[in-house]
A and B are shown apart, each in its own frame.
Chain A
């Protein structure tokens, strides 16, 4: 994918993020994710039923990259099982850290395939994944 295309997808997800609201999140599991190195700070709201992620919403203040990454992650994860979501997180993490990864189910998340070159933006991209991982891990227990 060329850089212009990537930029457009990121900007689009930034200007029209998926489920950026905290309305109607009663009964959702809430988790805060913030990074020490930058000022991003988001709350994720997750609804899980029968081991399936039924819905995810988010809210807060974050830079364009974090917001876009969260929006894309939400699109990818809604409807998947917890195990599928966990393997998405792992796959994404592999991509960011220059390890082998599977590009077939990344969808728009592929726009971050070169983020490993920009150390200072890695934390922005991983912000939502860190948050949701906490919830999924504790849910599995």
Chain B
């Protein structure tokens, strides 16, 4: 699907590492190059034409992103990525709200960026981190959420789709329960927003974080979505230009309205312009088509891999394009090196979910993460290379 739009695909590679980052279509590259070539000025500052043009492009990008997730414009803050968004949520909002003994629920399959900020808060604020137990398919169920939830639970913070197992969590149901019990729901959308329809009003999450580079956009741009009334009390971690109205002395600092208050300093303007182009691009294909295509490819991949005895799939079930597996007697990294000889890009390791290993019983896996531009022919090639174990061992070095 749409392979001609991606200059990287002119090289002789099979790219299966879309969970790490996706390839960029030409329109995104062009939009950024156009900014640098034709109206390279700062935003929110200038009194001249090209600077005004930057303002318009920047704020249009915000509008575009807001519509993509059905948020209001002032609820969309540009950041450098999911990691920064989650850190801002934890240290700018929850650090001021939570009391010692308050409980935060996460799982063992969260990405480091949804674990470590909470770990630090546990050290500094005395909050308690608890893990929702995963079922046999490494999924979060409502029953397990209910059994971990206590009257001290103040926050549930979960990936919508996880980056190792690829399971999709029932966020809407979780939000309903969490809100009925006076807690907050933070959603890490890094692996979901690029791949499935995400409507923050429908889901009713309190915060959502995601990265544009995982959805055809440039690196260095992310989004922090928060419900307006919550963002109002998020304390800016960065202070400086562009976010204040005035300051005369220590006691007379007036900050700007949302969302500018949370975007101090010169922003990643080229990135945001590229991000907007990426959103346009995904819209032109249709997010539902993208999702359907990925599920089709995933089911195809799983059905083929299941026929290979020495390949063990960790997660055949999830409704996402992520498949993690191991090969009997071969270290995950050696599988990756072997595939690399055939220009197939896959990721080996623990995928930044270091506490998951206790759960799935293996430390390291090989991960295939698909996007809509992958093909069944690519999958066939992968499967045929994996089908002969002796060959893997012979050629892995």
Contacts and interface: CB of A to CB of B under 8 A. Distances in A.
Do the two chains bind? yes
Interface of A: 7, 10-11, 14, 38-40, 61-65, 68, 121
B178 to A, nearest CB: 35
Contacts of A38: 333, 348-349
A61 B397 contact: no
Given A61-B363, A61-B364, A39 B397 contact: no
B364 A39 contact: yes
The B interface, classified by DSSP as helix, strand, loop or mixed, is mixed
6 contacts: A7-B394, A38-B333, A40-B333, A61-B363, A61-B364, A64-B396
Given A39-B333, A61-B364, A68-B397, 10 more contacts: A11-B393, A39-B349, A39-B363, A40-B333, A63-B333, A63-B334, A64-B331, A64-B334, A64-B396, A121-B337
B397 A65 contact: yes
B363 A7 contact: no
A63 B337 contact: yes
Nearest to A14: B397
Contacts of B396: 64
A16 B393 CA distance: 14
A64 B397 contact: yes
Interface residues on B, range: 10 to 19
Contacts of A64: 331, 334, 396-397
Contact of A11 (B350, B363, B397): B397
A10 B332 contact: no
B314 to A, nearest CB: 16
Contact of B331 (A10, A11, A61, A121): A61
Contacts of A10: 397
A50 B348 CA distance: 42
B348 A39 contact: yes
A83 B256 CA distance: 65
Contacts of B364: 39, 61
A39 B334 contact: no
A64 to B, nearest CB: 5
A42 to B, nearest CB: 12
In the A-B complex, the 3 residue pairs with the closest CB atoms = A63-B333, A39-B349, A63-B331
A111 to B, nearest CB: 9
Nearest to B396: A64
Nearest to A7: B397
Interface in B293-340: 331-334, 337
A11 B78 CA distance: 50
Contacts of B394: 7
A68 B334 CA distance: 13
Nearest to A15: B393
Nearest to A111: B397
B97 to A, nearest CB: 35
Contacts of B393: 11
A22 to B, nearest CB: 17
Contacts of A121: 337
Contacts of B363: 39, 61
B311 to A, nearest CB: 18
Nearest to A38: B333
B209 to A, nearest CB: 25
Interface string B346-374: 00111000000000000110000000000
